[in-house]
Amino acid sequence: MQLSLVFRLGAGIWTPITILFGWLSSLLYEFFGSYGLAIIFLTVIVRGLTVPLNVRSQKAMMKQQALSDKQAEIKRKYPDDKAKQEEELQKLFKENGISTLSGCILPLLPLLFLFPTYYIVRCPLQYITGVSESNIKEIGKVLGLKNAVADNISVINRLHNNPSALVDVVNRGLIKMQQIPDMKFLGLDLGRTPAFNPAKIMKNPSIYVPLLIVPLLVLLTTVFQNMLINALKPDAKKKKEEKKRAKQNPANNQPDDPSARTMKIMNIFMPVLMLVTTFAMPAAFGFYWIIGNLMSILQQVLTYFMFSKPYEEKKKELEEQKKLAFKKKATPALATAGGNKKKK
């Protein structure tokens, strides 16, 4: 089944969100007069809505890290019973108000926004410039396109390359000139689909060679985002040390973290998914991925300095206080023991 068909089958489910995204895109396009800028600011607004969820997820992660000692105790208590370990861990999380689903849902949010964004990118005439569906059908008949409603990009490209057809549909009142968006942005034709086939690229290198930067940036920003997420997690350094100790001595192995397992899967799945969709859809869709990744990177950095770093500093301070308290208790005990030896 083709990827575009999968998106079309889900159209009814995402219609309300698609209409909302289309309304926002239309306002942004009217304000900036640029299709590329409309996509950028739509992404900024949509991803901005996930900031509270990011904050909540980060707090839940820090709570979970604070219970690392108790998690290790459960693993030591039930070393050969994985089911019991999982049961006790879930019980521990529930008692402390921690939801492991937060770590699972957050990575999936970009996928939830993927479907509505696909329709906006694929159908800019309908959702951004306000051409009715019936008029798009008629324009498709003039151009000989059977799937004009589901693929406005083909309509736009045909109209740009066929002046006589453009004059015909404008004169018939099916579309206005200002309703045909300019898909070019920063030297890239966002209406074209990036190609990996060398033969297709060489047929029109001025269009397809520059477009290769889109999948490249999608891959690089996705990988960097995943690396940053892992590096800026609370107690990231401590986890690295625990893994080293676990290799040397399996008894030091820590219990599996369900959210960590999910993140590992997503770290592999998301770059592959993004790269595939970038080569299967108009470049505007890849452009959406890039801006979304940059937004996520910025969110991760801000969240780290606002929550994770203060948490780590406070935890380090408490550990130092515990060490000092232990030394104070140990010193009198040693002095007493020394005095008893002298008496003897």
**In percent, how much of the chain has pLDDT > 90?**
9
Q: Which run of H or of E encompasses 184?
A: strand 184-185
Please give the share of the chain, as a percent, with pLDDT higher than 70: 66
Mean pLDDT of the 228-240 span: 68
Q: Per mean pLDDT, which range of 53-57, 198-202, 214-218, 279-283 is the poorest?
A: 53-57
Residue 6 has pLDDT above 60, yes or no: no
As a whole number, mean pLDDT of residues 48-57 equals 73
Whole-angstrom distance, CA of residue 6 vs CA of residue 273: 14
- Count of other CB atoms within 10 angstroms of residue 158: 18
Pair of tokens at residue 254? 């820590």
Tell me which amino acid residue 13 is: I
Cα–Cα distance, 14 to 12 (Å, whole number): 6
Pair of tokens at residue 69? 């000692």
* Partners of 188 in the β-ladder: 185
Give mean pLDDT, residues 203-226.
Answer: 89
Contacts of 118 (CB under 8 A, 6+ apart): 7, 281, 285
pLDDT band at 87 (very low <50, low <70, confident <90, very high): confident
pLDDT at 236: 59
Rounded to the nearest 10 degrees, the angle between the axes of helix 283-303 and helix 213-231 is 20
Task: DSSP letter for 182, please.
Answer: -
- For the segment 243-267, the average pLDDT, to the nearest whole number, is 60
The secondary structure of the chain in percent helix, strand, coil, rounded to multiples of 5, reads 80, 0, 20
Residue 22's contacts (CB-CB under 8 Å, 6 or more residues apart) are: 119, 120, 126, 127, 128
pTM (2 d.p.): 0.70
Read off the pLDDT of residues 300-322 as tens digits, 9 standing for 90 and up.
888 778 776 776 666 676 667 66
The answer, yes or no, to whether residue 117 has pLDDT greater than 70, is yes
Q: Which long-range contacts (CB under 8 A, 24 or more apart) does 302-310 make?
A: 303/54, 303/55, 303/58, 303/232, 304/232, 307/55, 307/58, 307/59, 307/62, 308/58, 308/62, 308/232, 308/233, 308/234
What pLDDT, on a 0 to 100 scale, did the predictor assign at position 1?
43
If you search the block for the tokens 């939801």, which residue do you land on?
A: 99
Residue 50 CB neighbour total at 10 angstroms: 19
- What is the average pLDDT across 184-205? 87
Beta bridge partners of 185: 188
Cβ burial of 177 (10 Å; 0-12, 13-18, 19+) is exposed
Burial of residue 98 (number of CB atoms within 10 Å: 0-12, 13-18, 19+): buried
Place of tokens 């040397």: 248
Cβ 270 vs Cβ 221: under 8 Å: no
Q: Does residue 324 have a pLDDT over 90? A: no
**Averaged pLDDT score across all residues of the chain:** 76
Phi, psi of 185, rounded to the nearest 5 degrees: -155, 125
Amino acid found at 30: E
Sign (positive or negative) of CA dihedral 131, 135, 139, 140: positive
Decide: helix, strand or coil at residue 132.
coil
